[in-house]
Amino acid sequence: MLSVIDTLEYHVSVRDYTDKKIPDEMLEQILEAARRSPTSSNMQTYSIVVVKNQETKKELAKFAGNQKHVETCDTFIALCADISGVDEACQIHDTKLAKSLETTMVATIDAALVGMSLCLAAESHGLGTVMIGGMRNNPRGVAELLGFPRGVYVAFGLCLGYPDSKSALKPRMKSEMIIHREQYFERRSDNFIEYDKELASFYRANGKESPDAAWTGVVAKQLENIKRPDLKNALESMGFSFD
């Protein structure tokens, strides 16, 4: 088993899996370890939905824009923000859950933390993982397919399986672009341009096409228009607040 530091330092997202099954005991250990993650005020405002059924994974892959790894991974896990439990606690005590942007964020952060713990625990066992934000393409569809009650939405998914192929480590931005010491330092835009070049060379060296502006250009195009414009409405209709 890899150490925590080695697991983090060697992380790459894996999208190609073999047919080898993840042993049940290994999966249970990963799930139980991840459940020790910190959670805001011990509210545990998240749920983990483990999916192994092939047909269900196939449907989920479609929701994610036909991402084949969602279907071909051994186990797919939906990481859900879940305020149904705290809602029930309020009902038990004849109060009403004051839903707000804060409760939505608390639940979403809880889901993200447990998702990262799952990813780390799984990779420490030599499994490959990739997170799937594509689940938010259709949060209502996922909720219906997986039988969520009101107050539960899928923040993202996580594919788990034995890696068939693993790519090289994707370069990150320079440390000084991300890590600020004592005070936030203004980022220099020439560092972004430098990163564009580094990322473009990485993609090309690994047989992928890349524009010259491999980071700034891609991000600028992706974020020019609002992504998932229906997301707020969908989550509100599922019992979350943004006020």
Q: Could you list the residues that contact ligand FMN (CB under 6 A)?
A: 11-13, 15, 64, 67, 130-134, 156, 170
Q: Which is nearer to ligand FMN, 12 or 26 (CB)?
A: 12
Q: How far is the CB of 136 from ligand FMN (least distance, A)?
A: 9
Residue at token pair 């993982």 = 129
Distance CA 225, CA 220 (A): 9
Q: Which is nearer to ligand FMN, 13 or 124 (CB)?
A: 13
**Length reported for the chain:** 243
State both tokens at 48: 């983990």
Q: How far is the CB of 18 from ligand FMN (least distance, A)?
A: 18
End-to-end CA gap in the chain: 44
CA of 108: how far to CAs of 2, 51, 195, in Å?
28, 20, 30
Q: How far is the CB of 160 from ligand FMN (least distance, A)?
A: 14
Whether the Cβ atoms of residue 20 and residue 163 lie closer than 8 Å to each other: no
Q: Which is nearer to ligand FMN, 86 or 135 (CB)?
A: 135
CA of 166: how far to CAs of 14, 26, 206, in Å?
6, 21, 11
Q: How far is the CB of 106 from ligand FMN (least distance, A)?
A: 17
Q: How far is the CB of 53 from ligand FMN (least distance, A)?
A: 20
Residue, CB closest to ligand FMN: 133
Q: Which residues pair with residue 152 across a beta bridge?
A: 82
DSSP state of 19: S
Q: Which is nearer to ligand FMN, 116 or 193 (CB)?
A: 116
Distance CA 45, CA 49 (A): 13
Q: Which is nearer to ligand FMN, 45 or 129 (CB)?
A: 129
